Structure 1
Amino acid sequence: MARIKLSCERGRSIELDTARTALGCIDFQADFVLPEGRAGALGLPIDALMAAIPAAQRALSAAREAGMLVFFTRECYAPDLSDLNTFRRQNDLAIGSPGPLGRFLVKGEKGTEIIPDVSPSEREPVIDKAGFSAFHQTTLDTVLRVRGIDTLLLMGYTTQCCVASTLRHAVDLGYACVLLADACAAYDPADHEASIRVMYSEGDNFGWVSDSERLADALHSISH
């Protein structure tokens, strides 16, 4: 493995050890982004999510070529919704309801599967989570700790919800976090931009913001 210097927003940069850095691919699920998924069927604006796929592919390819750990997450719940908390059960009635690709966010349904554009390899962990944060009642922290990971590159859907929840949780657990802004998206671009602004709050309180091109360039430099 090797060390790289990743250029970030606002003139910042971060030194990364590729052996101690993981790329987290958050909730690239069919129901969230595909036209035939539930979001498309309900008329949610999926254009911004679709537009982030090439950047996600770029980051994924670069991380794999560099031999970095890559992991994926899926928000999904038991068929009987027994792991859906009371607040979500009362306020998100869409969960478990029927959609074009099966019951929305129910484990085992086609809609919860990761889209082929950024699908995991057989060796890459897939973390199923009954909540927004990828660390909520999952084995993710253990998966990372046993591999010596201390830095996370994060991308996925949606920026203000599952990506931000995972990032904030990771910071509380002591991980250094870099958000790959062009490889994230929200249904409302204003939510995406607001999430980026929050990253900068109180002196860059939540970490670093970069993008897939700068990551690919930095990782490409170690092989040449």
Structure 2
Amino acid sequence: MSIIIKDLHAKIGDTEIIKGLDLEIPKGQVHAIMGPNGSGKSTLSKIIAGHEDYEVTGGSITMDGEDLLEMEVDERSRAGVFLAFQYPMEIPGVSNANFIRAALSARLPEGEEIDAVAYYKDLYAKMDSLEMDRKFTSRAVNEGFSGGEKKRNEILQMMMLDPKYCILDETDSGLDIDALKIVSKGVNMLRSEERGFLVITHYQRLLNYIKPDVVHVMFDGKIIKTGGPELALELEEKGYDHLTKPVTA
């Protein structure tokens, strides 16, 4: 079971960003995508999640055999896709606890309700594992949060929603080393044979804490190289130029 992307082409407005991308993310594995700015990494994550600004002009995305591109955003979420944003949005007036509870309720069969006692017990346990103050349950979603607090909140949502496929779009962006370790701990707690991860990052340092099974290099809307964890170390040492610059005689 996996997310399978074949010959994907996509654009925003008149600009083509994804230019024939192939990728498979099996359950039970962590795949990392690295690449220079403007390669299309964040665009890919948003297309998988169903962002309406991007138009898919060719290719396919299937998840466990079902056509993901035929699903609306909420259908993709209920089917098991979760996207942790590079820049999480603030939602004034909606508390963290109510936001997560509403998301969980939306997945229940009609007529079923969440047990409040069990919900808060689970929520507090996961907050404790992320070293989040329990007062955050009553605060508006991400409003007034620091960068690190927003990223922990994204991981908290992911842990509570228990998705089949987790896409992390530069979750390490703006984190200090302590916050990075805590966020990585939350991700590692969710690793299992029943869940796949796509981790998008610029830096090897995140992959010191979230060990990938496979590393891909993305450039100009395509995957141009795939390897094991050692590929990330190679990129840290040599940069991207040796892969992206044309060979001259």
Same fold (TM over 0.5): no
Give the shorter-chain TM-score range.
0.3 to 0.5
TM-score (norm 2): 0.31
Structure with greater strand share of residues? 2
TM-score (norm 1): 0.34
